[in-house]
């Protein structure tokens, strides 16, 4: 399963990329606004730091605007995936970009039917928002199971399931058990995945024992 970071924060992107954890980045207008500064510089920098796919989202809601924005977004790097909303105009833009060999991520997916239509339009990724479904009392992970089953039934669809709106590490394990292609994680969730209280306690005990040993063997080095 690929791991993407769901952020436009350059420090976080560099931090986790240096650990070798990142296969790509997803952004959206909310994440971009949060960072402030000039979005153009931020987007360009992300495409330079990350070798894998970088989803940059359009803000137009009609077809021709999406096409213009998507083409401009692609100028930031060859690894840019144009992110469009799951709307009729978004699907039309998805079809046009995909036919020209430009990869597309269709976002704001909340049903299996929407995922099916985005796949038909040639999307490289569909982004189902599981946390937001959980928030309204629907089990978001059931949507991932449904989309996975549908895509497996029709191998002609090459569209990848990019699980978005992930809120905690259990979401990640469940998505991996289902066989989702990608999870996109807020930095805080990736951070939590690394930690376990027994790891912390275990390391503290190892170091305390070593200090005791060193007290009587001061010249020993590792």
Q: Which is nearer to ligand G3P, 74 or 83 (CB)?
A: 83
63 touches 87 (CB < 8 A): no
Environment class of residue 217 by beta-carbon count within 10 Å: exposed (0-12), middle (13-18) or buried (19+)?
exposed
The DSSP bridge pattern shows strands 104-109 and 80-85 to be parallel
103 touches 138 (CB < 8 A): no
Q: How far is the CB of 34 from ligand G3P (least distance, A)?
A: 11
Catalytic residue among 83, 148, 192, 200: 83
Active site residue 95: no
Please report which helix (H) or strand (E) contains residue 30, including its range. Answer: helix 29-35
Q: Which is nearer to ligand G3P, 15 or 132 (CB)?
A: 132
- The sign one gets for the Cα dihedral 165, 170, 176, 177 is negative
Which residues are near ligand G3P by CB under 6 A? 6, 26, 28, 129, 131-132, 164-165, 184
d(C-alpha 85, C-alpha 48), whole Å: 25
Q: How far is the CB of 68 from ligand G3P (least distance, A)?
A: 22
Q: Which is nearer to ligand G3P, 67 or 183 (CB)?
A: 183
Q: How far is the CB of 28 from ligand G3P (least distance, A)?
A: 5
What are the catalytic residues?
83
């Amino acid at each position: 399963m690929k791991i993407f970071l769901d952020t436009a924060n350059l420090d976080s992107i560099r931090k986790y990329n240096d650990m070798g954890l990142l296969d790509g980045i997803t952004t959206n207008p909310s994440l971009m606004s949060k960072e402030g500064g000039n979005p153009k510089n931020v987007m360009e920098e992300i495409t330079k730091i990350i070798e894998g796919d970088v989803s940059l989202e359009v803000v137009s809601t009609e077809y021709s605007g999406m096409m213009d924005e998507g083409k401009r977004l692609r100028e930031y790097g060859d690894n840019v995936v144009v992110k469009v909303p799951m709307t009729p105009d978004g699907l039309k833009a998805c079809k046009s970009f995909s036919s020209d060999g430009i990869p597309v991520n269709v976002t704001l997916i909340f049903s299996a039917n929407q995922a099916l239509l985005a796949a038909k339009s040639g999307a490289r990724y569909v982004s189902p928002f599981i946390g937001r479904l959980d928030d309204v009392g629907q089990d978001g992970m059931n949507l991932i199971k449904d989309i996975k089953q549908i895509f497996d039934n029709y191998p002609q669809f090459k569209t990848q399931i990019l699980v978005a709106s992930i809120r905690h590490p259990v979401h990640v394990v469940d998505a991996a058990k289902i066989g989702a292609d990608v999870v996109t994680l807020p930095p805080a969730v990736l951070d939590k995945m690394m930690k376990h209280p027994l790891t912390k306690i275990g390391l503290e005990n190892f170091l305390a024992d070593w200090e005791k040993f060193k007290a009587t063997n001061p010249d020993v080095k590792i």
